[in-house]
Amino acid sequence: MAAVSSMSRIYGLCFHAVRQTAGLKASRLLQHRAFRVSTTHQQQPFDSSLEKPQFPGASAEFVDQLEFIQPNVISGIPVYRVMDRQGNIINPSQDPQLSKETVLNFYQKMTLLNTMDRILYESQRQGRISFYMTNYGEEGTHIGSAAALELSDMVFGQYREAGVLMYRGFPLDFFMAQCYANADDLGKGRQMPVHYGSRDLNFVTISSPLATQIPQAAGAAYAFKRENMNRAVICYFGEGAASEGDAHAGFNFSATLECPLIFFCRNNGYAISTPTNEQYRGDGIAARGPGYGMLSIRVDGNDVFAVYNATKEARRRAVAENQPFLIEAMTYRIGHHSTSDDSSAYRSVDEVNYWDKQDHPISRLRHYMTARSWWSEDDERSWRKQSRKTVMEAFERAERRLKPNPELLFTDVYNEMTPNLNKQRESLWRHVQQYKEHYPLDLYDK
């Protein structure tokens, strides 16, 4: 009713304006008169301050001063942290009080990932694998968030989240098999290295196109909500990927369709060579969340406990309330973007060194453990040795293994083998039989 009466008030105003223009047709005049008659009943002493906006698109008050809303980028959304750079808990009420075993596990998974990164990075430099992307400096974001989830929660990632798989227990052999694209690779050797996936661990296979996983995560979360099985979805992406249209789509869909979903943005300052000031002009990614009606937080990505706490709470509320949460983990990409990139071409070595030496998620957690006498120099030495040994063993096994049967080039395009593909498969075999010496058949499974 409120809407109706204000509508007629508007018509009344229209009439007053129109009355002053000459040359109106008689029929028009009659119409307007009729309006005036109906509006006189409602005309009371008019107090414009009592008027409330009735627009369906937003719930807000009128304001009689012209004022543009200023973005607040100088003093942005604060960065939540639990421990300082020396590993001291800053506010005891925020200490997640994790057990020694849990913290040791965090540390070992982070360092194991780091060891695997070093070995695979070197192996790419030697031409033994074609491509690699390290996780240097972002180990804390992976382990902290993964630990706060249930194994049944589905993970959609970008490509720099190998630590999540590591935390979930993905065997080193499978990491290596994927990078080597050997016959043990669950992905059948079809994708570039670091495009991991695991059905058993609910880690959806990585694909190269950036941000495409973001609206997909919303769809999966919606399906989980309907199943009502207490499952959530987490979706990782970098701050560069957040510029894609798909990020906008995913944020908006998950909010309007009320999906139990955690968006986890790794803001590491760079998208390949592009610094964040060429990526956006707002207060990072976290500041976009409220625009979509999404609860948002910014955390210290080098503080594994801060990441853990934020993810834990977001997970709890996302499932309980069926709504999405946005976590922006501030961190720094210590390594090159990939093995095809030399980052010294666009940033200083000093800058990289600061994050590597002064503010690293691994060293921070080590400080925390050392202060509690949970970890000693000896522990460190023997763990380094042991982790290096296990990684090297897996590495050597993977390297010795044959590549998958070339037959697998044609399967899984469709669920079934189509007649057309079957024909092409047969044609390849006929060809290869005739020209065997020109193909590396002995490297492949038979």
Q: Which is nearer to other proteins, 65 or 415 (CB)?
A: 415
Is 130 designated active site? no
259 — phi, psi (to 5°)?
-105, 135
Which tokens sit at 299?
């955390």
Q: Which is nearer to other proteins, 95 or 412 (CB)?
A: 412
Q: According to the binding rule CB under 8 A, does residue 419 interact with other proteins?
A: yes
Q: Which residues contact 427 (CB under 8 A, 6 or more apart)?
A: none
Q: Which is nearer to other proteins, 195 or 364 (CB)?
A: 195
Exactly one of 51, 122, 321, 399 is catalytic; which is it? Answer: 122
Is 208 designated active site? yes
Q: Which is nearer to other proteins, 245 or 282 (CB)?
A: 245
Which alpha helices (DSSP H) does 372-418 contain, by range?
377-400
Binding mask 139-168 for other proteins (x = CB under 8 A): ---------------x-x------------
d(C-alpha 426, C-alpha 428), whole Å = 5
Minimal CA–CA distance to 83: which of 143, 137, 140, 164? 140
Q: According to the binding rule CB under 8 A, does residue 248 interact with other proteins?
A: yes
Decide: 344 and 335 in contact? Cβ < 8 Å. Answer: no
Exactly one of 5, 38, 152, 208 is catalytic; which is it? Answer: 208
d(C-alpha 147, C-alpha 103), whole Å = 10
Q: According to the binding rule CB under 8 A, does residue 212 interact with other proteins?
A: yes
Q: According to the binding rule CB under 8 A, does residue 221 interact with other proteins?
A: yes
Exactly one of 338, 343, 360, 387 is catalytic; which is it? Answer: 338
Q: According to the binding rule CB under 8 A, does residue 301 interact with other proteins?
A: no
Is 59 designated active site? no
Smallest gap from Cβ 320 to other proteins, in A, equals: 17
Q: According to the binding rule CB under 8 A, does residue 257 interact with other proteins?
A: yes
| Among the listed residues 399, 420, 427, 436, the single contact to other proteins using CB under 8 A | 420
Q: According to the binding rule CB under 8 A, does residue 418 interact with other proteins?
A: yes
Smallest gap from Cβ 185 to other proteins, in A, equals: 7
Smallest gap from Cβ 214 to other proteins, in A, equals: 7
Q: According to the binding rule CB under 8 A, does residue 209 interact with other proteins?
A: yes
Is 122 designated active site? yes
Residues 170-199 that bind other proteins (CB under 8 A): 185-188, 190-191, 195, 197-199
Q: According to the binding rule CB under 8 A, does residue 119 interact with other proteins?
A: no
Candidates 46-54, 77-85, 202-210, 270-278: pick the segment binding other proteins (CB under 8 A): 202-210
Candidates 29-37, 115-123, 222-230, 352-360: pick the segment binding other proteins (CB under 8 A): 222-230
d(C-alpha 51, C-alpha 61), whole Å = 9
Residues 394-413 that bind other proteins (CB under 8 A): 411-413
Exactly one of 161, 337, 360, 387 is catalytic; which is it? Answer: 337
d(C-alpha 420, C-alpha 247), whole Å = 37
For 62, other C-beta atoms within 10 Å of its C-beta total: 9
# residues contacting other proteins (CB under 8 A): 49
Decide: 183 and 205 in contact? Cβ < 8 Å. Answer: no
Q: According to the binding rule CB under 8 A, does residue 246 interact with other proteins?
A: yes
Q: Which residues contact 213 (CB under 8 A, 6 or more apart)?
A: 156, 157, 158, 204, 207, 235, 237
Candidates 9-17, 92-100, 168-176, 212-220: pick the segment binding other proteins (CB under 8 A): 212-220
Long-range contacts of 112-116 (CB under 8 A, 24+ apart): 112/166, 112/387, 112/390, 112/391, 113/139, 113/142, 113/143, 113/162, 113/163, 113/166, 114/139, 114/362, 115/384, 115/387, 115/388, 115/391, 116/162, 116/166, 116/172, 116/175, 116/391
Decide: 179 and 194 in contact? Cβ < 8 Å. Answer: yes
13 by DSSP, 3-state: which? helix
Q: Which helix (H) or strand (E) holds 267?
A: strand 261-267
Smallest gap from Cβ 64 to other proteins, in A, equals: 31
Minimal CA–CA distance to 213: which of 147, 160, 163, 177? 160
In the complex, which residues of this chain contact other proteins (CB under 8 A)?
154, 156, 185-188, 190-191, 195, 197-199, 204-205, 207, 209, 212, 214-224, 226-227, 245-246, 248-250, 252-253, 256-257, 411-416, 418-421
Q: Return the active site residues.
A: 122, 208, 337-338
